[in-house]
A and B are shown apart, each in its own frame.
Chain A
Amino acid sequence: MKILELNFQACRGENMERQKTYIEDIDREIYDIKDEFTYRYKSDQGLSKDIILEISKEKDEPKWMTDFRLKSLEIYNSIPLPTWGADLSGLDMDNIRTYIRPDTEMEHSWDNVPDYIKDTFERLGLPQAERESLAGVGAQYDSEVVYHNIRQELVDQGVVYMDIETALGEYEDIMKEYFMKLIPPEDHKFAALHGAVWSGGSFVYVPEGTDVDIPLQSYFRLNAPGAGQFEHTLIIVEKGAKLHFIEGCSAPQYKVNNLHAGCVELFVKEDASLRYSTIENWSRNMYNLNSKRALVEKNGTIEWISGSFGSKVSMLYPMSILKGEGARSEFTGITFASTGQYLDTGAKVLHAAPHTTSTVNSKSISKNGGHAFYRGLIKVLPEAYGSKSTVDCESLILDNESISDALPIIDLRNDDIDIGHEAKVGRISEEAIFYLMSRGIGEEEAKAMIVRGFVEPITKELPLEYAVELNNLINIELEGSIG
């Protein structure tokens, strides 16, 4: 049925005006609408002890958190910038404002959210998605969460979904036990930065045996120019529980550079399963240096679905630590690099227990001078006997100005394993185009069909009916403008 539809669309396209062969950039219009830069409080630019003390005071935090921030700052100052990967010389921390409190309180009803902020999220379709297909929504605007809500029936089941600042007050013990334990500030420079200036984000707790069958979504919007967003997401899925969590991010385009250094820590307990979907669509002045990690216990499952479309520079490598016997990890990612973008993405998996399995499936497209880089790691420890891993990376280069690289590292310390890896790079096959054309499909349409086919294994994994902007991305970008 779907194929018929595509064919129909293709034929119709043939009779209409000739369209360009290349795939258009994402229509960024709805993301690019800027609100006036208003705030209740903003920190000075740059990074210093005083600024951090100010942020902590503004947030009225317990002392251990203030100390944690200061310790992270010390670590940040002691670690040099990474020498591999992206060129970060354009990132000047002295010009980044790390904390901006929007001029509103945290609300549980959209009616109480100021109109200009509400309008922004309306344009992104968040309230509508909440009404139709989400069990809970969190919305962050600049440095603070402005809206958080969860359906009553989930609350009754004991599910907690709230902004992380509130969680720090209400669940201080849990926060102490888990906060930045999986990604400690020592991990890398931008984890340390996050530890020092983190603000906003979501906390999710799913109690034992609870199946949250409708997804939760947090949306992070950075409106201010020259600012940083450092939200922290902490999710704990207890024994036998299930959750699907969706993360969305966007920002309007500015001439100055913005920075995103969030941190996502996921704890998947015995027999639990978590699907974590991200549709990242930052503007092209954004340095996206995000850290994500999941710790998976016995027979637990983590599924990553990761779409990287925006930003100027991305360095993002979600990591799964398979700690318990039989733990599983699945990573499905798509990266789309266009003009001026350097997107360095990939997946890391650490097999640390027997009979653990992982699959990595990555697709990247580069066009109009974009540079897509797949960088991954599979590491199998001596105790992880009977483990299996499959890594598959495919890259499509749509013109000869664009660049695509792949560097999948495999590190094995055990013989009782089964590891397979494949990578391919190239452009659209002439033979496939020729075949489609011999079946009566125009050249442009044939190319478009092949690109759709290329990303289809990924798009079918994406929760199209839920994800707020993915409909826009896939439809506008991959179907509309090349059809």
Chain B
Amino acid sequence: MINWNRIELKGYRLPTAIEYHEEYVDYEELPMGVELTNINKVENKLIAERVNDDITGVDKNITSYVMDNYNSGIGLYIPEDIRIDEPIRLNFNMDDESPMVIDNNIVISSPNSRSTLVVDYYSNGDTRAFHSGVTKVYAMENAVVNIIKIQRMNDHSYKFDSNIAHIERGAVVNWISIEIGSIISGSNYTSILKDEASEGNLYSIYLGDGDRRMDLEYTMIHKGRRSISNIETKGVLMDNSVKVFRGNLDFKRGARLSKGMEQESVVLLDPTVKSHSIPALMCDEDDVQGEHAASAGQVDRDQLLYLMSRGLDFNEAKRLIIRASFRSVLERIPMEELRGLIYDEIDRRIINGQAGY
């Protein structure tokens, strides 16, 4: 039984797991030595020993459910000094045939390697889809790993996603999270900055429309000296949507000369929305810089007025301002076609919403 008070998820029972039959891995050609396998068929020792690593993630009950029931997922091993320029893509399409994705993904990025993984969760029509997963990233010395997660499931779907990165000396993990679907959405992104100059960045956008309820948690744990973290979140809430934002900057003792920044700004479009922000700043070390900022309000009236004076109608102007506020995050997605899909989905949802302003 899952009880999350803030988004009023009461007495929720996780569904009985069923298999997922669709093909979801999409890549052209991988450089020599890169291993990309189904999570059930991993031979790589480094991956195999981490398959059952348990994490807390969104909720202990949910992550252990994933560990017991996963029906998909990949093990990705990238050897030393290898750069994969073309993103590796996982497309999880859910429909009435295969409505359930429980994915367990592990990425091991050896020293000095570089890679980008794009994971798209999509459910069409009226399918009551369910997605719950765990993604673990191990970024070794000076590796760079980009993980882009797009969640555009339909309004009948439930989603609980946990992500964790262990970031070693000089390595960088960039998370990009796009949250524009489902009825219930729980997300957790945790980055552990273990060593000197470890870097973790999280850029996210969320759109709340209809009756969506979201609980989004982003955590940066600074352990290494000179470690750097950055959380940048842009959101829009409309209709009866509810959002909980939890941003945690945690400086452990010894994380000297570290810097952490956290910023959330949300635009509220309807009087019926609920927006909770809980930014926590925990500091056991004096020689650090930690900052968080949050802002909330309506669409800037001056901007609206200006655009309308240039001939745009009210909704068009509003749409443009919202698109612009998402831009700084969306521009980080390296595939134009994917950006287009996201913009279209945002437009569709905002225009369909059309709530009185």
Q: Is B270 an interface residue (CB 8 A)?
A: yes
Residue of B nearest to A404 (CB): B283
Check A407/B291 contact, CB under 8 A, given A417-B268, A417-B297.
Answer: no
Looking at A200-208, A418-426, A463-471, the stretch in contact with chain B turns out to be A418-426
User: How many residues in A have their beta carbons less than 8 Å from beta carbons of B?
Assistant: 33
Check A400/B280 contact, CB under 8 A, given A410-B294, A412-B274, A415-B271.
Answer: no
Residue of A nearest to B299 (CB): A415
Chain B interface residue bracket vs A: 20 to 34
From B256, B279, B291, A408 is in contact (CB under 8 Å) with: B279
- Whether B292 contacts A423 by the Cβ 8 Å rule is yes
- Whether B290 contacts A424 by the Cβ 8 Å rule is yes
Q: Is A237 an interface residue (CB 8 A)?
A: no
Residue of B nearest to A418 (CB): B297
- Whether B294 contacts A426 by the Cβ 8 Å rule is no
From B278, B282, B286, A399 is in contact (CB under 8 Å) with: B286
- Whether A415 contacts B294 by the Cβ 8 Å rule is no
Chain A residues within 8 Å of B276, by CB: 409-412
Residue of A nearest to B286 (CB): A397
From B271, B274, B281, B287, A385 is in contact (CB under 8 Å) with: B271
CB distance from A250 to the nearest CB of B (A): 29
- Whether B274 contacts A415 by the Cβ 8 Å rule is no
Chain B residues within 8 Å of A419, by CB: 294-297
Residue of A nearest to B355 (CB): A415
From A395, A412, A423, B296 is in contact (CB under 8 Å) with: A412
Residue of A nearest to B284 (CB): A403
Q: Is B37 an interface residue (CB 8 A)?
A: no
Q: Is A108 an interface residue (CB 8 A)?
A: no
CB distance from B304 to the nearest CB of A (A): 14
Q: Is A112 an interface residue (CB 8 A)?
A: no
CB distance from A69 to the nearest CB of B (A): 33
Q: Quick one: CB contact mask for A386-411 with B, threshold 8 Å, 1 for yes?
A: 00000000010111101111111111
Q: Is A414 an interface residue (CB 8 A)?
A: yes
- Whether B281 contacts A423 by the Cβ 8 Å rule is yes
- Whether B294 contacts A421 by the Cβ 8 Å rule is yes
- Whether B289 contacts A426 by the Cβ 8 Å rule is yes
Chain A residues within 8 Å of B268, by CB: 412, 414-415, 417
CB distance from A93 to the nearest CB of B (A): 30
Chain A residues within 8 Å of B178, by CB: none
| Cα of A404 to Cα of B287 in the assembled complex, Å | 12
Chain A residues within 8 Å of B286, by CB: 397-400, 402, 426-427
- Whether B277 contacts A406 by the Cβ 8 Å rule is no
Q: Is B173 an interface residue (CB 8 A)?
A: no
Check A400/B281 contact, CB under 8 A, given A415-B273, A417-B297.
Answer: no
Chain B residues within 8 Å of A413, by CB: 273-275
Q: Is A187 an interface residue (CB 8 A)?
A: no
| Cα of A417 to Cα of B289 in the assembled complex, Å | 30
From A409, A416, A417, A426, B277 is in contact (CB under 8 Å) with: A409
Check A405/B280 contact, CB under 8 A, given A413-B274, A419-B297.
Answer: yes
Q: Is B298 an interface residue (CB 8 A)?
A: yes
Chain B residues within 8 Å of A114, by CB: none
Q: Is B293 an interface residue (CB 8 A)?
A: yes
Chain A residues within 8 Å of B270, by CB: 415
Q: Is A46 an interface residue (CB 8 A)?
A: no
- Among B241-257, those with CB < 8 Å from A are 253, 256
- Whether B298 contacts A421 by the Cβ 8 Å rule is no
CB distance from A429 to the nearest CB of B (A): 9
- Among A273-321, those with CB < 8 Å from B are none
CB distance from B265 to the nearest CB of A (A): 10
Q: Is B285 an interface residue (CB 8 A)?
A: yes
Chain B residues within 8 Å of A440, by CB: none
- Whether B296 contacts A410 by the Cβ 8 Å rule is yes
Chain B residues within 8 Å of A421, by CB: 277, 279, 292-295
Chain B residues within 8 Å of A411, by CB: 274-276
Q: Is B106 an interface residue (CB 8 A)?
A: no
CB distance from B208 to the nearest CB of A (A): 12
Chain B residues within 8 Å of A422, by CB: 291-294
Q: Is A382 an interface residue (CB 8 A)?
A: yes
From A385, A399, A423, B279 is in contact (CB under 8 Å) with: A423
- Whether B284 contacts A406 by the Cβ 8 Å rule is no
Chain A residues within 8 Å of B278, by CB: 407, 409-410
| Cα of A395 to Cα of B294 in the assembled complex, Å | 17
Q: Quick one: CB contact mask for B26-56 with A, threshold 8 Å, 1 for yes?
A: 0000000000000000000000000000000
Chain A residues within 8 Å of B297, by CB: 417-419
17 contacting pairs across A/B (C-beta < 8 A): A397-B286, A400-B285, A403-B282, A404-B283, A405-B283, A406-B281, A406-B282, A410-B275, A410-B278, A420-B293, A421-B293, A423-B290, A423-B292, A424-B291, A425-B281, A425-B291, A427-B286
Known: A385-B271, A397-B286, A424-B289. 8 other contacts (CB 8 A): A400-B256, A403-B282, A408-B279, A413-B274, A417-B297, A418-B296, A422-B293, A427-B287
Q: Which residues of B line the A interface, CB within 8 A?
A: 237, 253, 256, 268-298
Per CB-CB distance, the 6 closest pairs between chain A and chain B, nearest first, are A415-B268, A397-B286, A410-B277, A406-B281, A412-B275, A419-B296
